[in-house]
Structure 1
């Protein structure tokens, strides 16, 4: 009996044991919850009915854990003294319902917004004073 379908073997990273051995065509659900957060490689090895082999490697990044946001320190900053950091970590939940608590990171108001607010307030006070003197 001859095979008329190709067979694929799926590997994660450098693991010598495949996570799946499938006849093609197939739809496969890769559960990333079982993988550690970080960079991984999906290696697909195919065997054709004629005995030929093909390999494809697909790098991907898993980010199942809570997202972490930090304000007050950026990559490769040169720092000195005491730093005031705002740190937030929030999860995606079960992805069937949206939970608003803790899902957004509060941020400080940028310097340029403060400048606009001060300039507008100064202009409003000046306008009130000058318009009151005319009457």
Structure 2
């Protein structure tokens, strides 16, 4: 007995028109560059040779646009006065070459690192002073 191929139709979100209608088994490349950034649903409807249908939904998030980083404010933070913000947006760029400039967001040095550095310098100064006084 031979298995007859099923047909599948692929839908994005609540679209009525399928983006593809294929016989199985199949390999398919979903081009997300045509979708807006945000949450989407891939809906796969399969239909067997005797007319029965099955459905599978897969939720996914598209992030094709530039990544946006911000320092100086965070989600649900209570603020007042003037806030110094550092904002950076960068894209994935060309996949054929690696560009380091603009691909990372500069960050300020955290205060805990300054404290450790000052403590180390203080300890080193104390050690040098006591070592040469003997």
Q: Which residue of 1 aligns with 2:22?
A: 22
Work out the number of aligned pairs and report it.
132
Question: Which secondary structure does the structure 2 equivalent of 1:8 belong to?
Answer: strand
After superposition, residues 50-69 of structure 1 pair within 5 angstroms as: 50-69=50-69
More divergent stretch after superposition (40-49 vs 85-94):
85-94
| Superposition CA RMSD, Å | 1.3
Q: Which residue of 1 aligns with 2:33?
A: 33
Q: Distance in 2 between matches of 1:87 and 1:9?
A: 42
Shift of 1:54: 0.3
What runs of 5+ residues in structure 2 fail to find an aligned partner?
none
Shift of 1:41: 0.4
More divergent stretch after superposition (39-48 vs 73-82):
73-82
Q: Which residue of 2 aligns with 1:9?
A: 9
Q: Distance in 2 between matches of 1:13 and 1:96?
A: 32
Q: How does the TM-score come out when normalised to structure 1?
A: 0.92
Shift of 1:5: 1.5
Are positions 1:113 and 2:128 aligned together?
no
Q: Distance in 2 between matches of 1:18 and 1:30?
A: 12
Question: Which secondary structure does the structure 1 equivalent of 2:46 belong to?
Answer: strand
Q: Distance in 2 between matches of 1:4 and 1:112?
A: 65
What runs of 5+ residues in structure 1 fail to find an aligned partner?
none
Q: Which residue of 1 aligns with 2:71?
A: 71
Off by >3 Å, runs of 4+ in structure 1: none
Q: How does the TM-score come out when normalised to structure 2?
A: 0.93
